Structure 1
Amino acid sequence: MLRIMVREGRSEDFGSATELLNSVWPHRVGSERGLRHAADAAPANAHRRYWAAEDDGKLVGWATAAIEYQSAERPGFLEASVAPESRKAGLGTALLERCEAHLAGLGVTTVLSTTTAEEASQKLATAHGFRHTNTTRISGVDPRTIEPRSAPPGVDLRPLASLNPRKMYELDAEAMLDVPGEVAMDDVSFEQWLEDYWRHPDTDLDASVAAVIDDRPVAFSHLRIAPGGRAVTDMTGTLRDYRGRGLALLVKRATLVNAAKRGVELVSTENDETNGPMLRVNENLGYRPIGSTLTWSRP
């Protein structure tokens, strides 16, 4: 019989929580240091909280809920994960109820969530009143198969570490406006962006590459590498006035070449299934689908 206890999550849980999350989400690129950094960096107005489920002292469930502070719409966000061997015991429901109560107490009316594509996850989301809004394709490529290419005249390829972070923030902010999703990520301050991306402990600013024209970064690809060799190109984007020139393909290729030099054997990337231009870039580089996640909204 399961001896279950659901309680508030604590910082000392982050190691076990990372192991659980990387098991439930097999293509996740995350580390204990990254989870800890995200918790510490979250602004007060996010009201972020965590919950843990224990079975006889072992962490078997993990959940979080917060206000999505990167969007001017300020929706709520929740996510619950349960170890496969501990499912069908009501843990997912217990964790979700705590998340929902927290967000309701904050007066949140729109709540977003992400699940795996498993049937059980979909049924749980539907049972809690969520509707499926988006499907994210997870693709992967062995970066050792990528051949380097020279930049065309007038374009310099530079590591993000060598660039002015303010200019990179402006590039990222504009590129994010055109990323498909239920809500726009359109309200990130420069200081918060520094914490969330530039200073994230898994971000490799030396391996991430930007295309620079006339001393202005106009396209970039951002790489995160977690301990154990998991890597993801977290964001690739181009300023609107510079699109259609192959710059996204150029910087992503250069970033993958750098990942191979780090000893990485698989780099994943996540894109909304309606994001045709980015999916074509990935296919050109040899990415192939390896999984998917689902986004949900309520109401």
Structure 2
Amino acid sequence: MTALDVRMASVVEPRARFRDLVASEWLKLWSLRSTGWTLLLSALAVVAFNAGTAWDHYRYWFQYDAESQAGFVKQGMALWDAFTGNAQLVLILCSAAMGAVAVVGEYGSGLIRTTFAAVPARSSVMWAKVLVVAAVQTLFGAVVAAGSFWSTQAILGVRGAGLPISHPGALRLVVASALLAPVCALAGMALGALLRQSALSIVGSVVLLLLVPSVLSDRRHLTAVLAHATPLHAWRRLVPSGFDEVLYPWTAGAAWLVYGLWALGAAGVTVLAVRRRDQ
């Protein structure tokens, strides 16, 4: 064996660092033009739904009698406009779809084979992808929730009905609405890792995050418990709704726990699905 052979044999390719994997996933996500446009259009749609509801109350304010106007202000009903149910549905759909595409898109293009060939540690690759998607969606949710609160309260503030962020329940509404985005995005990623088809993953996200929770009734104990275990009902528990009388009440702490368990469970499924199956 020559000296050149010895030197070449001693060269060992360094193991990929996790921060390099995170940087790689960040570049892959933002290299797609659709990422920025999707986030922008989704944010505008969510804020528009909320601002539109506040605008309706502003526009028809003087058609209410004095007692109704006073009740609107006293009961803090401006918070109901800060993040409406329609906006929440749009947020769930957009975030879940983006999470699913973040995984499925790489399988569809075949890039996942190159990625795993370069970095055989599949778990590290997927954890980096989970971290990047969760960070982007958390920032997206924060911008959307804060923008919705500011715009709606500014509109209603002209009529003297707007509320500050220090109002009881206001900060919790903003935080719960913001964190709903990464929770649903991670759920979409988990379905994408399992199904590996864009259409199926998006339809599965709609069924899992919207249809199933919608058909679970709060009028029976079993279905109420199952409903409480979904992000949709957890969000409804955390935000002011004006309907405090429920047959099977539960705490805000339990709703936050549902958020955490869904996020951790979805991240775990995303990683394990790749480890147990070929690309």
TM-score (norm 1): 0.23
Q: Which has the higher helix share?
A: 2
TM-score (norm 2): 0.24
Q: Which has the higher strand share?
A: 1
